[in-house]
Amino acid sequence: MKSKWWMVGIAVAFIASIGVGRISIAEEGETKTAAAATPPGSESAAPAAAPAPSTASGQVPAPSPATPVATAPASFPETVWIDDDLPPGAQTEGTWVWDTSTVASGAKSHGHASAKGLQSHGYTAQPQTLPTGSMLTQQVWLDPNDPPKGIMLRLKLASGDQVGVYWEGEQEVFNPGEQEEVWYYGLLPELGKWTSLEVLTEDLGIEEESVTGVSFVTFDGRALWDKTTLAPAPPATELESFPEIPETQAAPAAKPRGLEQQ
């Protein structure tokens, strides 16, 4: 009897140990499964970004463009370069002809004798700086009885370079080379009437440059020139730079060109 109960005790102990082992394995499996469902570090991850707003069609709207910032116009006093008299200490070039019968400002205007081809008169003086946002204004009168075919303003810079801007009629009369910058700026003004020619220094690429002289050029005919001033340019909406060439006129090459004697 004693041996029989000893064997029963061993069997019970063996069955109990198997049951404990199964429970331990099951609990370990549940622990591992739970750990796999939640990756390490997930508790510190940032929340997902909110979805972008959408329109009725389901498309994400484009961002609104930035509002342009208005640029304040240049502010500096108007400077008169010529009005009846040359700048102090100026040295003249060519033959100046003063006229008191046809004027736009002051008591007299200036020009040179009428002649065929390219003619000019000018001056050299102390440097005048062209501020950013500046505009040159030149009063000019074309003789209706002896009209020029083209007129030009030629600016001498302190750097030694020269920049020209010109107006001509249906016929192209200025034939520049490649040494100086000369720009077409529009058709000739009305004959027998004083006209203010307005030139933006920005167009010529000479802002903040210093001008040491001006030449007044004609091709054929006679022109009178009066007050020359430098002042702040008006808003862009009030002045057209580089006017469009009418279809009836053959357009000169739109590039810097040097002036050659005809």
pLDDT digits (tens, 9 = 90+) for 210-254: 999 999 999 999 999 999 999 999 886 455 555 554 554 444 444
Other Cβ atoms closer than 10 A to 27: 10
* Three-state secondary structure string covering 224-246: EEEEEEEEECCCHHHCCCCCCCC
- DSSP designation for 112: -
pLDDT digits (tens, 9 = 90+) for 169-192: 989 999 877 777 899 999 999 999
What pTM does this model have?
0.65
pLDDT in the model for residue 67: 53
| CA 233 to each of CA 2, 73, 95, 210: distance values in angstroms, whole numbers, following the listed order | 125, 8, 32, 17
Assigned token pair, 81: 């370069």
pLDDT at 124 over 60: yes
Instruction: Name the H helices within 146-206.
Output: 201-204
pLDDT in the model for residue 77: 87
Domains of the chain: 79-238 (2.60.120.260)
Q: Give the three-state DSSP class for 35.
A: helix
β-strand partners of 183: 165
pLDDT digits (tens, 9 = 90+) for 69-99: 445 556 788 999 999 999 999 999 999 999 9
pLDDT at 143 over 80: yes
224, amino acid identity: L
